[in-house]
A = this chain, B = another copy of it.
Amino acid sequence: MKNLPLIAFVLFVFFSCQQKQEKVINSNQLSPEEKIDSTKIKTLFNSVLTEGKSYEWLKGLTQNIGGRLSGSPEAQLAVEWGEKLMKEVGLDSVWLQPVMVPHWVRGEKEIATYTTNGVQKNVPICALGFSIATPKTGVLAEVIEVKSLDEAKALGDKMKGKIVFFNRPFDDTLINTFSAYGGCVDQRVRGAAVCSEFGAKGVIVRSMTNSIDDYPHTGTMIYGEDLPKEKYIPGAAISSKAANILSDDLKKNPNLKFYFKQSCKTLPDAPSFNVVGEIKGSETPENIFVVGGHLDSWDLGEGAHDDGTGVVQSLEVAYLFKKNNIKPKNTIRVVFFMNEENGTRGAKKYAELAKLNKENHIGGLESDAGGHTPRGFSIDANDMNTALLQSWKKLLAPYGLHDLDKGGSGADINPLKGENVTLVGYRPDSQRYFDYHHTSRDTFDKVNKRELELGSASMASIVYLMDKYLYQNETVKP
C-alpha cells in the first residue's frame, strides 16, 4: 500500500508510545513447579476477567438490599441472600451460625445548626453507632474545640455544659490512608466516653476522611462498661468541610451556640447469623483455611466497599476454584461474618465455635479494605511462613501485587490467631477508600468491575498457593 509510511507512523504512536507492555514472567527464571503455579494463577485471572460473578453479586447485595446494620431487617435479608448464593455456587456444604448481635438504630435524620454573625448554618452530621439520642428538644451549647483525647481530658470541668468538638484531621502525608485513619479514630471511638466523665453535654467529631466534603462518616463509638448509663452523652460525626468552617467560625465567635438533635437508640440484642460454606479438602479436610469478609454494613450507604466487595470476592475465590477444577488439599471455608462494624460478635462466635469443635484452622484471608485495584497482602504469620509467602512475589507481581509486608490481617479472622496460623489481609489501593467509608456515598457505582475482579483473582491466587505449600513440613503443622 502506498501510504505505508503514514500507517507506520500511526501504528507507532498507538502501539509503541502509549502502550505499556503487558508484564509477563520470564519463565526461564521459574522452577518447573513455579511454572505450574504461574500458569494456574494466570488461569484464575483469565477466568475472573471473562466469567467473573462478583460484580453482579455485589449489585444484588448493594442495590436490592442496601445498607444492612446488625439487627436490621436488611441484615437478615443479606443472610438469606448469602446462604442462597453459596448454595448456587455449589459449595459442598452451607450453613448458618447463630449469633446474638447488638441492635442500634439511627432513628430520624439528624439535625445540626448554629448561627454566627447573623447567618444560620445547617451542618451535615450523623449519629455515631451506639450513641444515645439527644433530649427530644436537642442539645444547645457552646463549643470547645480540641484536637485529641488528652487535650479534652486536660480541660476537665471546663467542658461542663459544653459540646466538645474533636477536630484532629487525617495526616494527609501518610501514603496509606489506613494509617491516617488509625491516627484519628480514637476521637470517634472514645471521645464521648472521655467527655461523659466531665459533664459535657455532647461531642461532635470530625469525619474520618482525607477528603474535604459534605458527607458525615458514621462509625462505632464505645462508652465503656464502667461508665454509668446516666452519664452517657450523645456523639455525632460532622462532615470535614463543616468541621473546617465551624473551626473558623469559633475563632471569630468563640461563644457561638451549636445545636444538634438525634433520636438513635440501642435496642436489645437481636438474633443473627454468620453465613458459612466450604469446599471440602481432598487430602487433609480436617485442616481449614478461612476466606471471608463481613456481611453487615453501616446504614447510610449501600455497604459497597465496606464490605460488600470483601463478601463477594471471598465467595468468588470458591467459585474460581470450582470453575477451574482446582481441588484444594485442605478445606476452604468461605465465611460472611456478621457484625464487624459494631461489635465483631460474628468473629468472636466463629472463633468460639472453632475452639469448641476442636477445628484445626491453618490460616485465613480477609478482604475488608475496599474493592479498589490490588496492591498486595498484609501477612500476620510466623517468620517461616511469612518468608514462604514473600517468596511468591515473582508469581504475584505481574498482577500488581507487590506489597507482601508483615502486618495485621483483619478484625474478623484475627481471633483465630496462633503461632502456626497464617493470617493474611487483602490490601487494595487505599487512596479512595475514605472518600466513601461509612457514608451515604459507599454505593455500588463507586466500585469498578475490573478492580473488584482482579481482587478476587488475587485472593484466589494466594489461597491456591497457601493451600498447596503451607504446612507441608509436618513439624510445623498447627
Interface residues of A in 7-59 (CB under 8 A from B): 7, 10-11, 13-23, 45-46, 49-50
A226 CB within 8 Å of chain B: yes
Instruction: Write out the residue numbers on chain B whose beta carbons fall within 8 Å of the beta carbon of A431.
Output: 373, 448, 450-451, 454
- Measured CA separation A4–B18 after assembly (Å): 57
A241 CB within 8 Å of chain B: no
Number of A residues contacting the other chain (C-beta, 8 Å)? 77
Interface residues of A in 431-475 (CB under 8 A from B): 431-432, 435, 448-451, 454
Instruction: Write out the residue numbers on chain B whose beta carbons fall within 8 Å of the beta carbon of A378.
Output: 20
- Measured CA separation A398–B449 after assembly (Å): 27
A181 CB within 8 Å of chain B: yes
Taking the nearest CB of chain B, how far is it from the CB of A139, in angstroms?
24
Q: Is B45 within 8 A of A15, CB to CB? A: no
- Measured CA separation A119–B344 after assembly (Å): 53
A356 CB within 8 Å of chain B: no
Instruction: Write out the residue numbers on chain B whose beta carbons fall within 8 Å of the beta carbon of A318.
Output: none
A165 CB within 8 Å of chain B: no
Instruction: Write out the residue numbers on chain B whose beta carbons fall within 8 Å of the beta carbon of A369.
Output: 18, 20
Taking the nearest CB of chain B, how far is it from the CB of A364, in angstroms?
12
- Measured CA separation A414–B9 after assembly (Å): 12
Instruction: Write out the residue numbers on chain B whose beta carbons fall within 8 Å of the beta carbon of A154.
Output: none
A325 CB within 8 Å of chain B: no
Copies in the complex: 2
Q: Is A405 within 8 A of B173, CB to CB? A: no
Q: Is B19 within 8 A of A178, CB to CB? A: yes
A179 CB within 8 Å of chain B: yes
Interface residues of A in 394-436 (CB under 8 A from B): 397-400, 402-403, 405-411, 414, 425, 427, 429-432, 435
Closest Cβ neighbor of A432 among chain B residues: B448
Interface residues of A in 180-226 (CB under 8 A from B): 181-182, 185-186, 189-190, 193, 210-211, 222, 224-226
Q: Is A20 within 8 A of B402, CB to CB? A: no
Closest Cβ neighbor of A397 among chain B residues: B402
- Measured CA separation A190–B14 after assembly (Å): 12
- Give 20 pairs: A residue, B residue, CB < 8 Å, sorted on A: A1-B226, A3-B193, A3-B225, A6-B222, A6-B225, A10-B189, A14-B189, A17-B411, A19-B407, A20-B407, A20-B408, A20-B430, A21-B406, A23-B175, A50-B173, A175-B400, A177-B450, A400-B429, A402-B402, A429-B429
Given A17-B408, A21-B407, A45-B173, 15 more contacts at CB 8 Å?
Answer: A3-B225, A6-B225, A14-B186, A18-B178, A19-B179, A20-B369, A20-B408, A22-B179, A23-B403, A45-B175, A172-B450, A211-B449, A373-B429, A402-B402, A432-B451
